[in-house]
Structure 1
Amino acid sequence: MNPRNSDDILLPVSPLFIAASLCGAFLLNLLPWGQWIGIPDFVALILVFWSMHQPRKVGIGIAFFMGLLMDVHDAAVLGENALAYTLLSYFAITIHRRVLWFPLRTQALHVFILLLLTQIVGVVVRVVIGGKFPGVLYFAESAVAACLWPVVTWVLLAPQRRAVDRDDTRPI
């Protein structure tokens, strides 16, 4: 599953595929189940993935834009999610070279910490402006997202994998 631990050479990722995955994550966040306990923030999860795997294509600017979209959708204070996603993307880009060498379970642990910090930033902003603390179960979303990390990695790297049946007419 992990391209760094195998002999697979990945194809370049399509910017259209990156945009489609971010739009799909945004649409998943729009569904009414987003208020249930334990449903992860799919935009944050996909942002972490692309910030780690393609830091030159998905960076802080896209994270800020996606955060503004989520702020408008959630009717939150403008900039709450934008700040959290920007910090998430920054820290993911900062550690991406080291984390991608680890096995998927260890990567999931790093993702859990990043997503937990993102949630803590959002809660701090909400509490500072006069909101109430959502409770400890609110942070279960990070654990569920970390459990989904291997699946997300497999699905989003699938279009980049080369064909198994190589022949003489294909380079590499």
Structure 2
Amino acid sequence: MAPRQARVDVSSKAGTGLSALEPIDKSPFRLAANPGFIWLTVSLVWLFSLLPWRMWQPAPDLLLLVIAYWCLNEPGRVGMVVAFCFGLLMDVHDGSLLGVQALTYTLAAYGTLLLSRRLQRFNSVVQCIHMLPVFVVAKSASRLIEGWLAGEWLGWSWLWSAILMALLWPLADVLLQMPQRRHEEGDGGAV
């Protein structure tokens, strides 16, 4: 009797195997983003980043967040060259050492492109966990260079910026993908 009961337990567990797994991201498929919308969002966030609130060190770098987001979702349109160019524009605006922001933006774009195949399998909450080290490494490289040139450590307040950028990743996903979401059949939208 014991062997027969063992078979029943195994067969009842068969429904919980690999065939019963659900996809990680249940959101509807995404359409390709309109290039005009991509450049509009990057340009608007760049203009918003020119305001003085960004000089507060713990403030998240929204331009870096949007560029990293588009590097993940539209790597053919936004990549490391775009990140470098906008980094140079931010260096010129800030009047800081030329190339420091460009290095930060390029490292973040490179890290995003490096992890892109893995990141596309997950939803935005899991993506933000993966993006936290990318933002920390990108920000720390520029802070180390600035600290070395200044001759002193400039503190850890920059770490809050990287953490806030990672926490804002799901919000960026919702806002930047809103126009591209497909209408479901029960939506009442045009088919």
TM-score (norm 2): 0.80
Alignment partner, residue 18 of structure 1: 38
| Equivalent pair of 1:68/1:78 in contact (CA under 8 Å) | yes
Instruction: Find the aligned partners of 1:131 and 1:74 in 2 and give their Cα distance.
Output: 20
State which drifts further: 7-16 or 138-147. 7-16
Q: Where does the alignment leave 5 or more consecutive residues of structure 1 unmatched?
A: none
Q: Residue 92 of structure 1 contacts residue 114 of structure 1 at CA under 8 Å; is this kept in 2?
A: yes
| Aligned twin of 1:39 | 59
- Say which SS state the counterpart of residue 157 (structure 2) adopts: helix
Aligned twin of 2:128:
108
Once the two structures are TM-superposed, the CA of residue 108 in structure 1 deviates from its matched residue by 0.7
1:156 partner amino acid: L
Q: Counterpart in 1 of 2:118?
A: 98
Does residue 161 of structure 2 align to residue 141 of structure 1? yes
Change in CA separation of 1:157 and 1:145 when aligned onto 2, cut-off 3 Å = same
Give the total of aligned pairs. 167
Alignment RMSD, CA only? 2.0
Instruction: Give percent identity, aligned residues only.
Output: 32
Return the letter of the residue paired with 1:95. L
Rg: which structure is higher? Answer: 2
* Counterpart residue type for residue 78 of structure 1: L
Task: State the AA in 2 paired with 1:14.
Answer: N
Gaps of 5+ in 2: 1-22
1:132 & 1:14 partners in 2: Cα distance?
45
TM-score, normalization by structure 1: 0.88
How far apart, CA to CA, are the structure 1 residues paired with 2:74 and 2:183?
21
Give 1:131 deviation, angstroms.
5.4
